[in-house]
Amino acid sequence: MIDPYLLTAPILLLAIVILLRFVGCTFTPGVAVVNLTLTAQACNGKVILSWVDPSGSTNPTYQIYRDGTSKYTVMQTSYVDTLVTNGTTYSYTVGASYGNSTYGSSNTASATPGYFPCRPSGAVLDPNNPLAQNLIGLFLMNDGQGQTDGSNAQDTNIVDGTPAIAGTNPTQGSPNVPPTWVLSDPSIWFHGGPSLTSFLDAGIDGPFDNMPTSKITIVAKVLLDGGAGGICEKNDGEQGTKDSGFRFDVTNNSALRFIVELNPTNMVIQSSDNALPLQAWVQVAFTWDGTQSTTQNPGPSSAAGLYINGALQPPHAAATNNGAGTLDSLKTSNNYPFRIGNADYGPAAGSFYGKMAYMAIYKGRLLSTSDMMALDANLPIKMS
């Protein structure tokens, strides 16, 4: 005799499957519920999204949500969102499905596209890029400690791997407010204040020494929040007698200034007041050919020049002098580090107050304005 339960079991199983489909449930063979890891990289006019799907599912479908609204459907684990506006913060999540079943969702990642080139985490120097020639320092400002918004910031010179860490004030023991990581840009925030309050110590390695005895160019992407402070500096700490370094800073009147420290009279180049806008990303740069002159002329052959977004700035006549004196080249090798975000003395002494997205340092090369704009569009980096 046939067991009646054996006859009815297939019917019951079919009824259960139909019922589950009726209420919107499906089975996805071999796929467990997973958490996707999403990252969002802000760039100029775009946001690069990438995520990790640990399920191993074949032919999945990913739904990208922006600000809570379904925006894009893709099959790959990355997407470039170009329908964005610089300066606007966007919030993203990603859901994963196989067939009709949702089997995974991601964390929320935010990004604010801005006027700076992409600086993906894990990038290395591209030696074949013409803008890599004579480059001795490149800080992408995209490495937050633990990548947690507001945590202490650090960075690395990708040219030689030297770390740039929160500096210390020998008289205070530690900085009052170390630079912090800004996740949405990403960038590093310097909090201003007196000299040696909020800056990065980029070390005293050889390439940074003896810099003022040859052609140099320093380019940085900054967002000024107000107040005087240094963008970067390299000096020997013997102000007023025998000095040999330079300072690149911002005055209280939002002017750019570059000072070469000479004996007995410094060479000073300063832009007009209010040259730097507040709360806006701009590229700033200076070039110096090693001679003692305050004259700014178009082109890389000038003695010294200040640039904002590739445009040469006319000098502030009241703030310049003739730069008389001699450069003590023997003092350039010293124990003072290359500091990012600080000026240790003078009318603009203090830590930078605002954000920084990248800094490029050239020795033995004067960048042209077209070079500067090319750098701002495409840094000389590649993925490892």
Does the structure show a pLDDT above 70 at 61?
yes
Binned at pLDDT 50, 70 and 90, residue 26 comes out as very low
Closest CA to 247 of 197, 301, 286: 286
Q: What confidence tens digit (pLDDT) does each residue in 142-195 have?
A: 877 656 778 888 899 999 999 999 888 877 766 788 999 887 777 899 999 999
Both tokens of 44, joined, read 């100029």
- Between 31 and 128, the higher pLDDT residue: 128
Domains located in the chain, CATH noted: 1-114 (2.60.40.10), 123-383 (2.60.120.200)
Choice between 335 and 169, residue whose per-residue pLDDT is larger: 169
Characterize 314-350 residue by residue with b for buried, 16 or more Cβ atoms within 10 angstroms of its Cβ, and e for exposed.
Answer: ebbeebbeebebebbeebbebebbbbbbbbbbbebbb
Q: Which residue would you say has higher pLDDT here, 224 or 18?
A: 224
Contact 167/191 with Cβ under 8 angstroms? Answer: no
In this prediction the pTM is: 0.79
What integer is the mean pLDDT of 223-240? 83
Pair of tokens at residue 307: 């640039």
pLDDT in tens, 91-131: 999 999 987 788 989 999 988 888 788 888 788 999 999 99
Are 172 and 98 spatial neighbours (Cβ–Cβ below 8 Å)? Answer: no
Contacts of 279 (CB under 8 A, 6+ apart): 223, 224, 225
Range picked from 149-158, 207-216, 309-318, 368-377 for highest mean pLDDT: 368-377
